[in-house]
């Protein structure tokens, strides 16, 4: 090594600590056993490392397990027995100091003489990932949307996922509440555990406790063995309670007790079992209205409604109708590429979609099976659906036409009587209040009275 090379190396060694300390991305170095040898300030800010001595001590992260999962996803099937030295990367949602971020984590093994070290680079990609999803119209867990309201709901789900707060998802049937619950689980710290889904409306009253809390052998007739309940099955993970509004008042009280204590007794057992469960509930009814009617316990409502998420119906997401129709057509069409004809597009946009995304999915599945050409035409849609939409359009057009005729009549009468409402009302055989209501409905309330 020349004197010049030695001088350059000396300069690099002198300034390197300052470079590492001032980088805008996080950096960590650990030995193969997971002992943390170095981390810069940005890594501490992103991950909350503080005084952690081992990778496993970093709060809310299981880095060594995540390395294995990411390696397997990248095609290294023997990553469990033979840790890969190649560069692997994955995204992770974390919450540190009440701030939620999406982090891109990259790691690889490096060699220095006869020693091995694992180096991590951590970058905040929150803004980038949100922009990518907005531009593509596709979110996580198979949720496709371009609608600003729906995208805000998705962003809220991802923002609160790392916490353990209870979430209440409200929206009409078929809007995708279950998919949002799946997204919440998959982006949470509990993703490695089970997501247990329960339809509260489908469980008979007399089986509710056994279904939720389980039972020991001999607890009731037919209990020939121990039965694990939904709470036990979801221990460490997420319990999704769909149609929560269908729970009876007695069962609401029992559910509240378990949520508050995170403990229960299986039927026939005197032994209390502790669990760690995050609860996500969903309903297609206004749960606050149910509270006001006395049909739902207020204390349970507030226990579930820590993070409220409202899912808009498809009729309020017009930008999603054709977007989703194209997606379903491609999904069900297999290798065949078809496009939606203009008449069909108008029909889809004119329909109010009471069954929401689920109904649209069924219509497009039918069309993909029954269509013969490269373009979806009206004849390719279910006949009763087409007739229903066309009948509705005709009724709406007739109402609009009748409204126009009524408006023209009132304008003519007002002109005839010099805007004297009393005279117009007398000629029509109605009172002034009824006339005023009609004028307001038809946009004539600003006509000055004489």
Residue 86's domain is classified under what CATH number? 3.30.450.20
Is pLDDT at 297 greater than 70 in this prediction? yes
Helix or strand (DSSP H, E) at 260 = helix 249-261
What integer pLDDT is reported at residue 424 of this predicted model? Answer: 81
The DSSP bridge partners found for residue 215 are: 227, 267
- Per-residue pLDDT, averaged over 170-180, amounts to 93
Is pLDDT at 274 greater than 90 in this prediction? yes
Q: What is the CA radius of gyration of the chain?
A: 31
pLDDT in tens, 356-401: 999 999 999 999 998 888 899 999 999 989 888 877 765 554 444 4
Q: For the chain, give me the number of helices (H) and strands (E)?
A: 17, 14
Is residue 393 within 8 Å of residue 350, measured between CB atoms? yes
What integer pLDDT is reported at residue 395 of this predicted model? Answer: 55
If you search the block for the tokens 């007794």, which residue do you land on? Answer: 265
Is 103 buried (19+), middle (13-18) or exposed (0-12) by CB count in 10 A? buried
Worst-scoring range by mean pLDDT, 69-83, 182-196, 291-305, 358-372? Answer: 69-83
d(CA 443, CA 424): 16
If you search the block for the tokens 């209440």, which residue do you land on? Answer: 168
91 or 326, higher pLDDT: 326
- Per-residue pLDDT, averaged over 51-64, amounts to 80
Is pLDDT at 67 greater than 60 in this prediction? yes
**426 shares a domain with 337:** no
DSSP 8-state class, residue 267: B
What's the mean pLDDT when you consider all of the chain?
Answer: 82
Q: Is residue 180 part of a domain?
A: yes
Q: Is residue 422 part of a domain?
A: yes
**Contacts of 79 by beta carbon, 8 Å cutoff, 6+ apart:** 67, 68, 71, 72
User: Last residue of a domain, which of 97, 124, 151?
Assistant: 124
If you search the block for the tokens 């990553």, which residue do you land on? Answer: 79
If you search the block for the tokens 């030695």, which residue do you land on? Answer: 6
Q: Is residue 3 part of a domain?
A: no
d(CA 410, CA 421): 10
Neighbours of 359 (CB within 10 A): 16
Worst-scoring range by mean pLDDT, 34-38, 86-90, 95-99, 294-298? Answer: 95-99
Worst-scoring range by mean pLDDT, 65-74, 163-172, 323-332, 364-373? Answer: 65-74
Cα–chain-centroid distance for residue 140?
8
**195 shares a domain with 51:** no
Residue 397's domain is classified under what CATH number? 1.10.10
**294 shares a domain with 367:** no
Q: How many angstroms separate the Cα of 321 from the Cα of each of 303, 316, 361, 393? A: 35, 10, 10, 18
How is residue 115 written in tokens?
Answer: 């020693």
d(CA 51, CA 36): 10
Pick from 225, 331, 233: nearest CA to 273: 233
Sheet holding 88-96, edge to edge: 36-39, 26-30, 115-124, 99-112, 88-96
What integer pLDDT is reported at residue 401 of this predicted model? Answer: 46
With cut-offs at 50, 70 and 90, classify the pLDDT of residue 147: confident
**234 shares a domain with 104:** no
Is pLDDT at 144 greater than 90 in this prediction? no
With cut-offs at 50, 70 and 90, classify the pLDDT of residue 235: very high
Q: How many CA atoms lie within 13 A of 214 on its CB side?
A: 22
Q: Is residue 264 part of a domain?
A: yes
If you search the block for the tokens 């694990």, which residue do you land on? Answer: 228
- Per-residue pLDDT, averaged over 4-32, amounts to 78
**62 shares a domain with 26:** yes
Worst-scoring range by mean pLDDT, 3-17, 251-265, 394-408? Answer: 394-408
How is residue 413 written in tokens?
Answer: 């009468």
pLDDT in tens, 330-368: 888 877 778 999 889 988 988 889 899 999 999 999 999
What integer pLDDT is reported at residue 79 of this predicted model? Answer: 45
**176 shares a domain with 113:** no
Is pLDDT at 268 greater than 80 in this prediction? yes
Is pLDDT at 296 greater than 90 in this prediction? yes
Is pLDDT at 402 greater than 60 in this prediction? no
- Per-residue pLDDT, averaged over 176-180, amounts to 94
Angle at 28 between CA 26 and CA 30, to 5 degrees: 165
What integer pLDDT is reported at residue 86 of this predicted model? Answer: 75
Is pLDDT at 13 greater than 80 in this prediction? no
Worst-scoring range by mean pLDDT, 14-28, 90-104, 196-210? Answer: 90-104
**179 shares a domain with 54:** no
User: Last residue of a domain, which of 124, 140, 156?
Assistant: 124
Worst-scoring range by mean pLDDT, 29-43, 65-79, 405-419? Answer: 65-79
Is pLDDT at 241 greater than 90 in this prediction? yes
Helix or strand (DSSP H, E) at 196 = strand 195-199
d(CA 81, CA 377): 55
**354 shares a domain with 239:** no
What integer pLDDT is reported at residue 409 of this predicted model? Answer: 77
**418 shares a domain with 358:** no
What integer pLDDT is reported at residue 311 of this predicted model? Answer: 94
Q: Is residue 10 part of a domain?
A: no
Q: Is residue 351 part of a domain?
A: yes
What integer pLDDT is reported at residue 400 of this predicted model? Answer: 45
**267 shares a domain with 133:** yes
- Per-residue pLDDT, averaged over 313-319, amounts to 91
d(CA 425, CA 151): 51
d(CA 260, CA 256): 6
Pick from 50, 54, 49: nearest CA to 35: 54
Is residue 290 within 8 Å of residue 245, measured between CB atoms? yes
Residue 247's domain is classified under what CATH number? 3.40.50.300
What integer pLDDT is reported at residue 51 of this predicted model? Answer: 78
Per the structure, the count of domains in the chain is: 4
**153 shares a domain with 298:** yes
How is residue 349 written in tokens?
Answer: 């946009």
**Domain encompassing residue 341:** 314-381
- Per-residue pLDDT, averaged over 396-415, amounts to 67
**138 shares a domain with 24:** no
Q: Is residue 2 part of a domain?
A: no
Is pLDDT at 73 greater than 70 in this prediction? no
Neighbours of 367 (CB within 10 A): 24
User: Last residue of a domain, which of 78, 107, 124?
Assistant: 124
Q: Is residue 4 part of a domain?
A: no
Is pLDDT at 449 greater than 70 in this prediction? no
Is residue 198 within 8 Å of residue 239, measured between CB atoms? yes
Q: What are phi and psi of 217, to 5 degrees?
A: -55, 130
């Amino acid at each position: 090594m020349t004197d010049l090379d030695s001088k350059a190396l000396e300069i690099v060694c002198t300034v390197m600590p300052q470079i590492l300390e001032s980088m805008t991305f996080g950096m960590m170095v650990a030995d193969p056993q997971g002992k943390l040898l170095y981390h810069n300030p940005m890594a501490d800010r992103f991950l909350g490392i503080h005084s952690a001595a081992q990778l496993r001590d970093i709060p809310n992260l299981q880095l060594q397990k995540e390395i294995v999962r990411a390696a397997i996803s990248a095609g290294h099937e023997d990553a469990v027995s033979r840790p890969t030295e190649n560069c692997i990367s994955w995204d992770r949602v974390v919450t540190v100091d009440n701030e939620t971020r999406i982090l891109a984590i990259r790691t690889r093994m490096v060699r220095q003489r006869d020693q091995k070290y694992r180096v991590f680079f951590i970058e905040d990609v929150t803004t980038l990932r949100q922009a990518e999803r907005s531009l593509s119209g596709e979110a996580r867990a198979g949720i496709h949307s371009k609608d600003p309201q729906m995208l805000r709901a998705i962003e809220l789900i991802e923002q609160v996922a790392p916490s353990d707060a209870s979430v209440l998802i409200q929206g009409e049937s078929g809007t995708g509440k279950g998919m949002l619950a799946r997204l919440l689980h998959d982006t949470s710290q509990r993703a490695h555990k089970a997501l247990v889904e329960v339809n509260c409306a489908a469980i008979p009253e007399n089986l509710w406790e056994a279904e939720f809390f389980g039972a020991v052998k001999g607890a009731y007739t037919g209990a020939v063995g121990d039965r694990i309940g939904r709470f036990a099955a979801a221990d460490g993970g997420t319990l999704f309670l769909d149609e929560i509004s269908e729970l009876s008042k007695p069962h609401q009280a029992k559910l509240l007790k378990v949520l508050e204590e995170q403990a229960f007794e299986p039927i026939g057992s005197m032994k209390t079992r502790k669990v760690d469960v995050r609860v996500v509930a969903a309903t297609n009814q206004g749960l606050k209205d149910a509270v006001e009617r006395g049909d739902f316990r207020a204390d349970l409502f507030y226990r579930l409604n820590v993070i409220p998420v409202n899912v808009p119906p498809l009729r309020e997401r017009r930008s999603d109708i054709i977007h989703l129709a194209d997606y379903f057509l491609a999904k069900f069409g297999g290798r065949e590429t078809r496009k939606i004809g203009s008449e069909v597009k108008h029909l889809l946009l004119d329909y109010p979609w009471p069954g929401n995304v689920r109904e649209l999915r069924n219509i497009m599945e039918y069309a993909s099976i029954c269509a013969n050409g490269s373009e979806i035409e009206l004849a390719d849609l279910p006949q009763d659906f087409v007739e229903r939409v066309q009948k509705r359009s005709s009724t709406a057009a007739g109402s609009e036409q009748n409204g126009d005729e009524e408006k023209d009549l009132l304008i003519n009468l007002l002109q005839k009587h010099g805007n004297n409402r009393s005279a117009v009302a007398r000629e029509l055989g109605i009172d002034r209040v009824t006339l005023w209501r009609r004028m307001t409905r038809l946009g004539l309330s600003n006509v000055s009275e004489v």
